[in-house]
Structure formats: structure tokens, C-alpha cells
Amino acid sequence: MSLLDSTRKVIVPIHKEGYIFIAIALVATLVLGHLWTPFGWIGALITLWVCYFFRDPVRITPQRAGLVISPADGRVSQVALALPPPELNLPAEPMTRISIFMNVFDCHVNRAPVPGRIVKMAYTPGLFLNAELDKASDDNERNALAIETSFGTVGVVQIAGLIARRIVPFVKEGEVIATGERFGLIRFGSRVDVYLPTSVVPLVGEGQTAIAGETVLADATTPEIEKRSYRGI
């Protein structure tokens, strides 16, 4: 293996959405450094953080039918029954909601948790409350997708947070999406909720760390008794 190939394997790619922010940070660093050298060092650290924030690492996604994969890097902050967002036009009955909170150091490129067709996509303006709060699901700015799958419709909701001020979608309503495919990005701290049919039992617990495109959140094909055994119940 050549040195170039080895370097490419070590360096994590940066998503193109981050280029403009990196450029701004670099210019600011040069200006600040010209004014006072210590300011330049602070700017350099901020520039490195911006590069880190917009990283877009390669992920190896499990492809077996029925698996629900994490759409986001972060901590599983809640697993509970909740009504799906009304804008998705899903039945007004509780679904299993798995919430994943992303802090400012997590990768913010979001990936599809299931394969299927996006039957509904709706952006809702709102507040910028702490994304960990339960009411953030209803009050905060969000972008919601309903994905039609073989085991029912799955809802995926990107929720802005205290610092996040922009949700960037990569897909459109009517498109067919594959598990692990990038569908959007949230800038600077936020949350992603996954709404599953109640027949699908989660395989993760609150406090667990999830990796977008790799961590299995649930398995729609595993018999109930096996799911309980897997979760230690």
C-alpha cells in the first residue's frame, strides 16, 4: 500500500456543506492573527473544530432486511411511546420513538435508518430549545420524513437545538432511499427521532452510544421472544 493510500485511510473526508464554514474560519484566523498572534492561535483551533464537525466518515451499514439502523451519531436520550408529528399524516396513535441526541462534537451527517420510499417530507419552523427536552419534538424547528417500508411506515425527524440553526436536506419527497444513505445534515448540535411501529421492539437502551449507519436500533424480523432475550429481559 502506498503512502498516499495509507493517508487517505487515516484522513476522514469532510462534507461539502462544511467548505464555506471552513473558508470563513480560515479567513477569520488570518485576520485575527494579523491583529494579535494569540487570536490567530484561537482562530486556528476553531478552524480545526469546524473541520472536525463537518467530517463525513465512511460507514459500513448492515443490509439485512428488517434492520433499523441509527440515523445519527450520539447518545440514545429516550426510548418511549409518543405520537408522531402531525405533518407526517401518520395515524394519530403512539409509536415507539427512539431519540438520539447529538452534541457539537458528534458527526452531524444523518443517514437513512431503513430502506424505502419517502412518502412524505415536511419542514416545520419553530423554536431552538435544548434538543434534549421532550417538548423539543413539538416546539423546535424540524424536518420530518415518512419512509414506507416492508414492515410499515417509519418516521424520521431532524430536530434543531440550542445552537443548531439550519437543517439541510439531501433528499426529496417521492425518492427511494437505501439504508445508510445520507439524507441530511444539522448544523451544530441537535437531535434525530425515529418513530417505529409498536410491533418493532427496540434493541437499544437510554444512555447507549449510537453510530449513524452502523448501530442497529431495532430488528423488525426477530421474533418477540428472541428480542427479549437479546435485551436481557
Cell of 35: 491583529
* Interval 28-72: pLDDT, tens: 999 999 888 999 999 999 999 889 888 999 999 998 999 999 999
Q: Which of 2, 99, 190, 229 is catalytic?
A: 190
**pLDDT tens string 126-171:** 776 666 767 667 778 899 999 999 999 999 999 987 765 688 999 9
Question: Per the structure block, which three cell numbers stand in for 163?
Answer: 445552537
Cα gap 41→29, rounded to integer Å: 8
Q: What percent of the chain has pLDDT over 90?
A: 64
Is 190 catalytic? The answer is: yes
Residue 62: count of CB within 10 angstroms of its CB: 13
187, 168 contact by CB (below 8 A):
yes
pLDDT of residue 8: 52
Reported in sequence order, the residue ranges of 112-189 that DSSP labels E, i.e. its strands, are 116-124, 142-149, 152-160, 167-169, 176-177, 182-186
Helix, strand or coil, per DSSP, at residue 224: helix
Is a pLDDT exceeding 70 seen at residue 225?
A: no
**Whole-structure pTM over 0.75, yes or no?**
yes
- % of the chain exceeding 70 in pLDDT: 85
pLDDT band, very low/low/confident/very high, at 187 (cuts 50, 70, 90): confident
